[in-house]
Structure 1
């Protein structure tokens, strides 16, 4: 019987099957193996070898339990009752030299922090800006700039500043998350902070430069919109600053027919821009000019000033 199961396992290795389908086949073969062990144990006990038959029976019962667990996992969507797999996993991790669960949890927390966006409690690399004056920006990326982003992603991974491991989630957890959210799950999560970035103006174009540091900066994209406004409409009316730049994209998981499948997407960047109204500095310059000419009536310079389109941002 065991030779037959080994032969089936051997020949299945030659066939390129879906992992879940192959596990279903193994589960069915395992059920036949358990039935055979039960038969052998009963025959041993009937022939007067109670001790040996009882040991085989005990092994058959244990294997039957795990076969039932596999049937729940691979053939149904229900949670198996009395599932002791997590306890066995922790016990084997300790006895076989695996990582301590507490240490694993701390490591996973560090990785998630490394792969997560900076929130309001943290200060990005470019300093702190008033959240009321920060707008999202859209970025257009050329082929050369896309290559620069991919190179930066490799550097971040080599320096262990980025861990594309889906937050340590296994296939089962990924499947549950995909079924719940109906959205792809990226290997780097919501994004990774870039160590250095700056904004440079080239005529009417605003170019995002980024890299591991200032010496290794490279162009990563061109700002096309700020909030809902095209960059051509606002670049000369407000001062723009890069509040944050994050790396997004890369490999991701989406739900296939039976299980999660991994697909590849290019890395790109997402930006947030802080703005300051340009007319404030213009007003100060006007006040200084008026004070230096005593013959000019001292009227309010802002009284007849046209309304700025950037008031919609306030």
Structure 2
């Protein structure tokens, strides 16, 4: 019942396990009391069996106290051996492999990070003409992003639960990959977003829907080039916007510890070259998303597409 009611409250993994440990201590004390009363009333065998169970549970309770309330390594910890034996005898899988599998499901699952195989909310763009963009965020825009994150969580469109991984699984992943693990995984799709011109600035607007959109940041870089260098050379469109950041786990001295990071956004931009006057002579032109290079411009032929392409968010 307690586990059921705690499900209504969004608690981090460590706090929830601390609550379970305290409840385990109370339950174990009760079992010890019951076993002693059985023995005092002449039921030695029955009382001894209950006492044996209480002592075994007391051992694991002490292990949990060390694990969740201190940074010390518990003495005589047999849990890794038990986990290994049960995995072999009951047909279990390797813990590290299972943790990796759950992480992969998390990336594909509840938070639905869109990748090249899916079509984002703004439609489909040719992956060869998509570049990552960097976004500058001021104080007001950061507040808008935090408000959007709260709305997504309240509407069950975002689950900051580490994909359901427990503390041990998180610890195994952190030891193996040496990278922080965010509660929302690789990111969460934002339901609505658009790009608006504000003078010479390109501002990202996003929200739960078009009616509740708000400014989330200003585009500063497209690919490797500052926005000022490409603003009048290409047309830019928002291909995708995701919410990233928030609480994350990193490896402490003996166990994973949770820290807080602000939510922010990452963007992908699709580009389309502005129309150019046909020429027949050799000239040097600037690639809006690459370096200066020499092109031979033929009559009525468009410029070649840039060779750089987006392989991942950065």
How high is the TM-score relative to the length of structure 1?
0.65
Aligned equivalent of 2:47: 56
Give 2:222's match in structure 1, choosing from 209, 223, 226.
226
Larger radius of gyration: 1
Q: CA deviation at 1:198?
A: 1.0
CA shift in 2, pair 1:282/1:244, >3 Å: same
Q: Residue 307 of structure 1: SS of its match in structure 2? A: strand
Does the Cα contact within 8 Å between 2:135 and 2:265 map onto a contact in 1? yes
Give 1:238's match in structure 2, choosing from 234, 238, 256.
234
Aligned equivalent of 1:180: 176
Query: Over the residues paired in the alignment, what is the CA RMSD in angstroms?
Result: 3.8
Q: CA deviation at 1:244?
A: 0.4
CA shift in 2, pair 1:309/1:112, >3 Å: closer
Structure 1 residues 11-65: Cα deviation after superposition (integer angstroms, max 9, x where no partner)? xxxxxxxx87x969x98xx79x98xx79x96x99xxxx6xx22212222333344
CA shift in 2, pair 1:169/1:53, >3 Å: same
Q: CA deviation at 1:302?
A: 4.7
Q: CA deviation at 1:252?
A: 1.9
Does the Cα contact within 8 Å between 2:250 and 2:256 map onto a contact in 1? yes
Does the Cα contact within 8 Å between 1:253 and 1:261 map onto a contact in 2? yes
Aligned equivalent of 2:82: 81
Structure 1: distance between partners of 2:171 and 2:203: 39
Aligned equivalent of 2:147: 151
Structure 1 consecutive aligned stretches of length 4 or more whose deviation exceeds 6 Å: 82-86, 109-112
Q: Residue 209 of structure 1: SS of its match in structure 2? A: strand
Structure 1: distance between partners of 2:199 and 2:149: 29
Aligned residues: 246
Q: Residue 285 of structure 2: SS of its match in structure 1? A: coil
Structure 1: distance between partners of 2:48 and 2:109: 49
**Structure with higher helix content:** 1
Q: CA deviation at 1:269?
A: 0.5
Does the Cα contact within 8 Å between 1:135 and 1:272 map onto a contact in 2? yes
Does 2:66 match 1:66?
no
Q: CA deviation at 1:195?
A: 0.8
Q: Residue 116 of structure 2: SS of its match in structure 1? A: coil
Structure 2: distance between partners of 1:112 and 1:237: 36
Does the Cα contact within 8 Å between 2:133 and 2:219 map onto a contact in 1? yes
Structure 1 residues 192-247: Cα deviation after superposition (integer angstroms, max 9, x where no partner)? 11111111222332111111122221111011111111111111111111110001
Does the Cα contact within 8 Å between 2:135 and 2:220 map onto a contact in 1? yes
CA shift in 2, pair 1:311/1:81, >3 Å: closer
Structure 1: distance between partners of 2:78 and 2:204: 47
Give 2:251's match in structure 1, choosing from 250, 255, 259.
255
Q: How does 1:25-36 map to 2 (within 5 A)?
A: none
For structure 2, the residue ranges without an aligned partner over 5 or more in a row are 1-16, 68-73, 88-104, 291-305, 308-314
Does the Cα contact within 8 Å between 2:107 and 2:185 map onto a contact in 1? no
Aligned equivalent of 2:90: none
